[in-house]
Amino acid sequence: MIKITINQEQLNSPDAYEITAWLRSKKIGSIHLQIRTDYLIRAIHVRCGVISEIAVDKDHKMQGIAQQMLKEAMAKFAKEKVDLAIIEGDSEKILKLSERVGFIKLVEANILIASVGNKKIFDVLRQNNHDIMI
């Protein structure tokens, strides 16, 4: 049975977290995330949850572990009243995985986004697919 935990990362900042997947006592996956308020979208400051790393042990890939951790990240973002979730990077594997939990790719910005608390901003970005400044 896979256990998912979330812990605050003490070294980086008070708004940085690591979600970890465990099989018994072995760490088999992790996602690093940070909650930031410095995103500017169409001249509006937005509280964003940023996912910067998704990793799963090679022996445990294709078992839904990354998807479980992403869902946990989205729940954490909702609890923290985040408006928009962002995954930095655009590899084909990350794109397929993130689409399963509601993310879309912003072509010009080279990021993936999903609505958490502010559907209006998400809809504007989805329709226009541009105008994001970090």
Gyration radius of the chain's alpha carbons: 15
Say whether pTM exceeds 0.85: no
Element at 113 (helix H, strand E): strand 111-115
Q: Is 86 helix (H, G, I), strand (E, B) or coil?
A: strand
Mean pLDDT of 97-114: 70
Residue 61 has pLDDT above 60, yes or no: yes
Domain locations in the chain as residue ranges: 33-133
Residue 100 has pLDDT above 50, yes or no: yes
Nearest CA-CA partner of 19 in 11, 9, 80, 10: 9
Instruction: Return the CATH architecture of domain 33-133.
Output: 3-Layer(aba) Sandwich (3.40)
What tens digit of pLDDT does each residue of 49-58 get? Answer: 888 888 899 9
Taking CA atoms, 83 is separated from 28, 52, 108, in Å, by 29, 17, 20
Residue 119's CB is within 10 A of a number of other CB atoms, namely 12
Residue of 133 and 34 predicted with greater confidence = 34
